[in-house]
Chains A and B, each alone.
Chain A
Amino acid sequence: MYELFIAIRHLTSRRRQTLFSILAVGLAVTGLMWSQAVMVGFTDEMYSKTVDRMAHVTVEPKEGEDYIHLYRKLTEEITRIDGVVGVSPVIAGAATFRFKDKNKNVVMQGINVEAQDSVLFINEDIVEGSFRDLEITPNSVVVGDALAEKLGVKIEDTIDASFPEANPAALKVVGIYNSGTPLDETIAITSLPTAQDFLDVSNVVTTILVRGDDRERAQAISEEIDAMGYPASGWKETNPEILQTLKVEGTSNYISMALIVIIASFGIVSTLFMAVMEKTKEIGMLMAMGVPRRSIMMIFVLESGILGLLGAVFGVILGAALAMQMGTYEYGTEVMAGITSIPFVVRIQDAVIIVLFTFLLNLIGGIYPASQASKLKPVEAIGRE
């Protein structure tokens, strides 16, 4: 492999150019690695603040029907689907809440506490009282903190609930929750029987919420439920804007970062052009000694590839070190979807992909100057004085 021997010697002989080339690519790759860590962290954070807190799959009544009948049987069947870890039947209806002189229209949700917690981890959101009391105390309700404030209610207060065609009820406040979303102002949670009594129905629900062991499984689960005859949609269908946001952020990030690396690689290509011009006589002499054109080309492509590889490795290490050093970027305020900080997430696979990308880019970039070198005619290259 004399080609490699010559390529490495060329690089070590023009030490300063080599160092700057590696530095240029390295710093560009540092940026790429660092911003990839931000992007992965942002994606993780976005998922944990949104998808991880919502039902992965939502099941609705059959077409033309207002309710899901025989929901207990359906719930059991859904529980048996591979990968399902939580199933919660929910009945929802409109209600007007009145406390003292204040009125507020809300959505009343009847739930089974344990089931709902298995899908939405509601117990984590409780700030006062408990969801469990819904099942102990008849005609009780848990309200969001914003709703409680609007109505001016506290634990142990009793709210009058009414609605046209509904059975009016007096509901005792047994808990206050805060999910950090605008829903805290509009949703009131009761037990399933309480809500069914209020809405004057029995043995029916309006939706079934499902959680899978992996959010990416939502599509497969919803397809199986569809096959049971109930329309089901995964989170990607019910909240397309989440994926949209990630895609837009991700794409623009990749493009701008890849451009920087490409520009840095151009630096290597131009250095290589200079080297080819400088070494014209040498190339001619190598040809006279019997080095075939392919090998001349290989020497210069190798030089470019080696610079790219070293720059990429250096950049990935520096970028990863910076990202790990910073740990988390704190915004101080909410920027979107409940995100207040972005953790830097360094993944081995990103490092490998970035190194490969940069290496290949430089190999390809080296082809042009290298082919110029290989096209030299030995007589003209050696020249004569």
Chain B
Amino acid sequence: MSDTYIIQIKDLTKIFGNGVEIRALDGVNLNIERGEFLAIVGPSGSGKSTLLNQIGILDTPTSGTILLDGVDVTKMSDKQRSITRNRQLGFIFQYHHLLPDFNALENAMMPLLISGVKSSRAREVASLMLHEVGLGDRMEHRPNQLSGGQNQRVAIARALVNNPSIVIGDEPTGNLDTKSSESIYELLRKLNREHKQTFILVTHDERMAAKTDRIIRLVDGRIAANSHNSV
């Protein structure tokens, strides 16, 4: 079973609260197939980002389990979580969160350097990746010298450079104009097809969600709808 499903979520619950208890996730069960391109939608406060942070092992659940490739990440040590994030996961946030002191190439190299790849090799791979996202001619530019859409492309190159099995996008086009959003979406879709990686995107944009393989609709921390799109 874990061969088809790269992510298996069972009874996942996350409770926030100092005094007032907020159930951000309330018994979520979800299986995601390898290579799926899937959208998580829902109103503000429905738990979309919380779910994404759990899948990205950026946060720990209150209860329940998450299996990534058959391994329960909720039982991992801090160090194992870091290694898993580096090797298996790629992150794209609404704001690019590039390191401001490093140029595009260096930013894209960073996950490789962190995993111990030699600098010269990392440079090669990152440079190919930047060409793939269409920024081959902007590699020496720092984030403050690039447009929002360009920075987001660098962030995408960075997320994919380590060839992760899962790419997580939290409103990856939320901060861009329609035209840029469109081209970023096309880029993600292209990469998904070419690299066979699993893409999980949180989005407000129903038009973009409609173009994915499957839409998970969250309401009050529960899955209210789980529908496949016919593309």
Contact A382 B101 (CB under 8 A): no
Docked Cα-Cα span, A284 to B97, in Å, equals: 9
Q: From residue B90, how far is it (CB to closest CB) to chain A in Å?
A: 9
Question: Is A288 interfacial (CB-CB < 8 Å)?
Answer: yes
Asked whether, in the complex, the Cβ of A2 is within 8 Å of the Cβ of B110, the reply is yes
The 5 closest A-B pairs by CB, nearest first: A290-B86, A13-B101, A2-B113, A292-B82, A290-B85
A288:B59 contact, CB within 8 angstroms:
no
**Contact call B115/A290, Cβ cutoff below 8 A:** yes
Q: Is the CB of A290 within 8 A of B114?
A: yes
Docked pose: A289 CA to B84 CA in angstroms: 9
The residue in chain B whose Cβ has the minimal distance to the Cβ of A13 is B101
User: Do residues B101 and A289 form an inter-chain contact, with CB atoms below 8 A?
Assistant: no
Across-interface contacts of A12 in B (CB, < 8 A): 101
With A2-B110, A13-B101, A285-B97: A379-B82 Cβ-Cβ less than 8 Å: no
In the complex, whether A62 has a CB less than 8 A from a CB of chain B is: no
- Judged by a CB distance under 8 angstroms, whether A236 is at the interface is no
Least CB separation from A295: chain B residue: B114
Additional pairs, 16, CB under 8 Å, beyond known A10-B101, A285-B98: A13-B100, A281-B97, A286-B99, A286-B110, A287-B58, A288-B56, A289-B91, A289-B110, A290-B84, A293-B82, A295-B114, A379-B58, A382-B58, A382-B93, A384-B170, A385-B94
* Chain B residues with CB under 8 A of A6: 99
* B82 contact set on A, CB distance < 8 A: 287, 290-293
Residues in A whose Cβ lies below 8 Å from that of B95: 385
Contact yes or no, B114 A289, CB < 8 A? yes
11 example contacts (A-B, Cβ-Cβ < 8 A) are as follows A5-B113, A286-B110, A287-B82, A289-B91, A290-B84, A290-B86, A290-B111, A292-B79, A293-B82, A379-B59, A384-B170
Q: A282, B49: Cβ atoms under 8 Å?
A: no
Measured between beta carbons, the chain A residues less than 8 angstroms from B98 are 285
B78 touches A282 (CB 8 A): no
Tell me, rounded to whole Å, the shortest Cβ–Cβ distance linking B173 to chain A: 14
Docked-complex contact A382 and B97, CB < 8 angstroms? yes
Judged by a CB distance under 8 angstroms, whether B87 is at the interface is yes
A327 proximity list for chain B (CB < 8 A): none
Asked if B53 CB lies within 8 Å of chain A CBs, one says yes
Instruction: Verify if B225 is at the interface (C-beta below 8 Å from A).
Output: no
Docked pose: A10 CA to B102 CA in angstroms:
9
Check: B83 CB closer than 8 A to any chain A CB.
yes
Query: Which B-chain residue is minimally distant from A14 (CB atoms)?
Result: B101
In the bound assembly, the distance between CA atoms of A290 and B207 in angstroms comes to 32
A98 within 8 A of B: no
Contacts of A295 in B (CB 8 A): 114
A177 to B134, CA, bound (A): 95
Q: Answer yes or no: A193 CB below 8 A from chain B CBs.
A: no
**Nearest chain B residue, comparing its CB with the CB of A12:** B101
Within 8 Å of chain B (Cβ to Cβ): is A9?
A: yes
Interchain CB contact under 8 A, A379 and B91: no
Would you call A292 and B53 a contact (CB within 8 A)? Answer: no
- Cross-chain contact of A282 among B79, B83, B97, B113 (Cβ < 8 A): B97
Q: Is there contact, CB below 8 Å, between B99 and A285?
A: yes
A288 & B99 in contact (Cβ 8 Å cutoff): no
Query: Which chain A residues border B86 with CB–CB below 8 Å?
Result: 289-291
Measured between beta carbons, the chain B residues less than 8 angstroms from A5 are 113
Interfacial residues of chain A within 43-69, with CB under 8 A of chain B in the complex: none
| Bitwise interface map of B from 192 to 228 toward A, beta carbon under 8 Å scored 1, else 0 | 0000000000000000000000000000000000000
CA distance A379 to B81 in the complex (A): 14
Interface centre among A2, A281, A282, A287 (most CB of B within 10 A): A2
CA separation between A281 and B97, bound complex, in Å? 7
**B113, chain A: closest CB distance, angstroms:** 4
One of A2, A9, A286, A293 near B78 (C-beta < 8 A): A293
Could you say which residues of chain A place their CB within 8 Å of the CB of B56?
288
Could you tell me if A282 and B85 are in contact, using CB atoms closer than 8 angstroms?
A: no
- CB pair A289–B58 under 8 Å, yes or no, is no
Interchain CB contact under 8 A, A289 and B59: no
For B83, the chain A residues whose CB sits under 8 A away are 290, 292
Per the bound structure, the CA–CA distance linking A385 and B95 in Å amounts to: 9
Contact B85 A288 (CB under 8 A): yes
A93 — which chain B residues lie within 8 A by C-beta?
Answer: none
B115 neighbours in A (Cβ, 8 Å): 290
Q: Is A377 an interface residue (CB 8 A)?
A: yes
Instruction: Check B91–A282 contact: CB distance below 8 A.
Output: no
CB-based contact A290/B94 at 8 Å? no
Residues of B with C-beta under 8 A to A291: 82, 86, 114
Contacts of A2 in B (CB 8 A): 110, 113-114
In the bound complex, residues from chain A placing their C-beta under 8 Å from that of B111 are 289-290
Bound Cα distance from A287 to B110, whole angstroms = 12
Q: Given A290-B115, A291-B114, are A9 and B58 neighbors across the interface (CB < 8 Å)?
A: no
**B58, B78, B94, B101: which contacts A288 (Cβ < 8 A)?**
B58
A288 to B93 Cα, complex, angstroms: 11
Chain A residue nearest to B96 (CB atoms) is A285
A36 to chain B, nearest CB (A): 37
The reply to whether the CB of A378 lies closer than 8 angstroms to some CB of chain B is yes
Task: Give 1 or 0 for each of A251-295: 1 = CB within 8 Å of chain B CB.
Answer: 000000000000000000000000000000110111111111101
Within 8 Å CB of A289, what residues of B? 85-86, 91, 110-111, 114, 158
In the bound complex, what is the Cα–Cα distance between A291 and B82 (angstroms)?
Answer: 6
Instruction: Enumerate chain A residues within 8 angstroms of B100, measured Cβ to Cβ.
Output: 13, 282
B97-121 at interface with A (beta carbon < 8 Å): 97-102, 110-111, 113-115
Q: How far is the CB of A45 from chain B (nearest CB, A)?
A: 51
